[in-house]
Structure 1
């Protein structure tokens, strides 16, 4: 069992939190590649492209060379799109974590720390869609420390914060490829309430969706209520 502590975010954690996010998302890239290759529209495109190459090439060696170039270019394009997604999020709430979470009413950001090193993080902000719901965001745990209950503990920290702040529910979104995260949320009592496509042309083409979950907090008679 790893010894760690969960505490409120400090400005000195800035680079560690951003680095943790980047490394975590980049680790999903191989899974993204497999997901893309399983999509019917991509499989059809690959079959058509390979058929054309086979017709146009007058030698097996040339065909294999062009096939390798085709696959490399496809992977580079997908990698570029994935990096753009990372950069987009770094320029959003992770651009100024203190302003996005620490200074915002009803919001907070926490880190899990071991021996002075940040190994996990999670944030929470009031939902844009319901004044009584809190949104859980940026749950990340360093690869070496996964499977040891840290993500669960970070989620419970958000639950307690939501409870004390008077929210009645917690909402979140996670991508279709993040199956481990989906399992964690279901075990914690979250219910799948819907899906939505990522607002990008290529993402819509490959059916890359966001799964939306909600957790209903248990009511407490002495808990303060959020204002509608």
Structure 2
């Protein structure tokens, strides 16, 4: 990934991004009253190589003026059929409301479809109202089976590949 959206640069995570990316996620979680859990639900942010890159996933950072202001990622998962989970899609408050979340979701879906995955799962918390609205507006359907303690919602979207279309 290496793309531009307005004055934002979306690029692949690098080792030097580890703590800045983790700090963005920590800040957003705390803003919504959710716990930062580096030993549990957020361990993947500290261990990006093993949690994403080494297993066929991707982890992106969003920069503005050379500062990391957001993250977005997906990783293959055992749940569902040939599935991935979108994770760690967080934007600092000052950059929300500019269409960046919609852009990131679209770009994640394109990257996932290129790899021929069939299902996208997302776990989130109902307190993250903007995220919930974004997923629902973009075809994600409520599902069951929350696996992350701080989450209370699960969404699923089945991808239509060209072989499935008439």
Band the TM-score falls in, shorter-chain normalisation: 0.7 to 0.9
Structure 2 unmatched runs, 5+: none
CA contact (8 A) 1:163 1:217 kept: yes
Once the 2 structures are TM-superposed, how far is the Cα of residue 161 of structure 1 from its aligned partner?
A: 1.2
Paired residue total: 160
1:181-220 alpha-carbon deviations (Å, 9 max, x no partner): 1101011111112364865xxxxxxxx7511101121212
Query: Is the strand fraction higher in 1 or 2?
Result: 2
CA RMSD of aligned residues (A): 2.3
| CA distance in structure 2 between the aligned counterparts of 1:143 and 1:103, rounded to whole angstroms | 31
1:89 to 24, 41, 48: 41
Once the 2 structures are TM-superposed, how far is the Cα of residue 98 of structure 1 from its aligned partner?
A: 2.1
Structure 1 unmatched runs, 5+: 33-81, 200-207, 223-228
| CA distance in structure 1 between the aligned counterparts of 2:107 and 2:67, rounded to whole angstroms | 19
TM-score scaled by length of structure 2: 0.85
| Residues 25 and 86 of structure 1, relative CA distance in 2, 3 Å threshold | farther
Matches for 1:33-182 after TM superposition, within 5 Å = 82=35, 85=37, 88-90=40-42, 92-104=43-55, 106-182=56-132
Residue in structure 2 matched with residue 212 of structure 1 by the alignment: 154
Query: Is the helix fraction higher in 1 or 2?
Result: 1
Once the 2 structures are TM-superposed, how far is the Cα of residue 103 of structure 1 from its aligned partner?
A: 1.9
